[in-house]
Amino acid sequence: MPAAVILLLVVTVFLLSITAAYESKYQTYDSLEIFYSGAAIEKIELFNRQNTR
């Protein structure tokens, strides 16, 4: 019985660490997407301003 409890705790910690790593990676990609989307919008607006004059 104690071995089952220890195994359960080990598996739980392992799954929580995988989940935390995935969430961190997802937040990084989300931040990059927001950054590059903003940069692309700025370039398009600059292009439009230069060509409408």
pLDDT one-digit tens code per residue, 1-53: 999 999 999 999 999 999 999 999 999 999 999 999 999 999 999 999 998 87
In whole angstroms, how far apart are CA 11 and each of 21, 43, 47?
Answer: 15, 48, 54
Query: Any idea what DSSP says for residue 20?
Result: H
Output the pLDDT for position 52.
Answer: 84
Helices (H), the chain: 2-51
